[in-house]
Amino acid sequence: MVCQDLMKSDVKCISPLTTLEEAAVRMRDDGIGFLPVCDDVGRAIGTITDRDITIRAFASGEPGSQPVEPFMTRSVVACRRTDDLAYAVDLMSQEKVSRILCVSEEGVLEGVISLSDIAQLEDGALASYTLRNVSDREVHA
Amino acid sequence: MLCRDVMKGDVRFITAQTTVARAAALMRDEQIGFLPVCDLTRNVIGTLTDRDIAIRVVADNHSANESVERFMSPGAVTCLSDEDLSAAQDLMGEMQVSRIICVGEDGQLEGVISLSDIAQLGDGADATATLRSVTVREARA
């Protein structure tokens, strides 16, 4: 199985200039906790989660009118849509993330695979392997 | 195996009058994403997550000085600390939560079990089964 068989491709990304409040509204309205941040040609340059908004911005008294850029995670964990799924799973375990971005050769965002997508697979061993290897912070108490 | 054997016992909690700013700082400093809200007798009256702060406080531009009372999820999914772990796992799946609060006979907070605690147990298949049945907000793209 390759990544494009599993990835969700209807992924919305935000701009680095999107405000924290706008990002939070998007997360609320779409029922998601994670947004890729893309530049103006669609290349993934970071990610931001609901937890990032709370911990990195709100907890320090930063107003919601600030852009997400200084608060996003800049290291993007990504693979190609044609990569084998096992490769993506290894990378997620290694990097201790619960989501991986699928990008084109040019770095343009094409889809996202999350731990819960992998958990839905028939191959339960793959899912439990991944789950055991992602950090506590991602599935935190 | 009993819930008591798996639960984290040194649980931080807040009261309904704690400010959202304080709750967010506590989540940051203790590296947690979830706080039980207790009354004066340590009975759990609600819960607050990092996501609740992002989508209920930041998204609506509320002040950080407001108390958590209006932003928490009232009530809580609980089990007895002396109950069998499998009963807790069933309840987590049924109620679609990634954490369960363990209480004593008197209803007082004693501990919390999260999905990641179950994932650390030997039986990975168990955790995967729970993960599959839970809507894991944290692990959703």
pLDDT, one tens digit per residue, over B44-82 is 999 999 999 999 999 999 999 999 999 999 999 999 999
Could you give the CA distance from residue A23 to residue A138 in angstroms, rounded to a whole number? 19
pTM above 0.90, yes or no: no
Q: Is B27 on the interface with A (CB under 8 A)?
A: yes
Instruction: Say what the pLDDT of residue B36 is.
Output: 97
Could you give the CA distance from residue B9 to residue A121 in angstroms, rounded to a whole number? 33
CA distances from A75 to A45, A78, A100, A136 (A): 8, 9, 11, 19
For residue A31, give the chain B residue with the closest CA: B137
CA A61 to chain B, closest CA, distance in angstroms equals 8
CA B42 to chain A, closest CA, distance in angstroms equals 19
Q: List strand residue ranges (DSSP E) for A1-141, in order.
A: 34-38, 44-49, 78-79, 99-103, 109-114
- Amino acid at residue number B61: N
Looking at per-residue confidence, does A22 or A115 come out higher? A22
CB atoms within 10 A of CB A17: 11
Decide if A127 contacts A121 (C-beta within 8 A). Answer: yes
Decide if A4 contacts A111 (C-beta within 8 A). Answer: yes
Percent of chain A with pLDDT over 90: 70
pLDDT, one tens digit per residue, over B96-134 is 888 999 999 999 999 999 887 887 776 556 666 666 666
Instruction: Say what the pLDDT of residue A117 is.
Output: 85
CA A105 to chain B, closest CA, distance in angstroms equals 22
* Residue B7 pLDDT greater than 80, yes or no: yes
* ipTM of predicted assembly, 2 dp: 0.84
Judged by average pLDDT, the poorest of A18-27, A42-51, B109-118 is B109-118
Give the number of beta-carbon pairs within 8 Å between A and B: 143
- Strand B44-49 and strand B73-74: the pairing is antiparallel
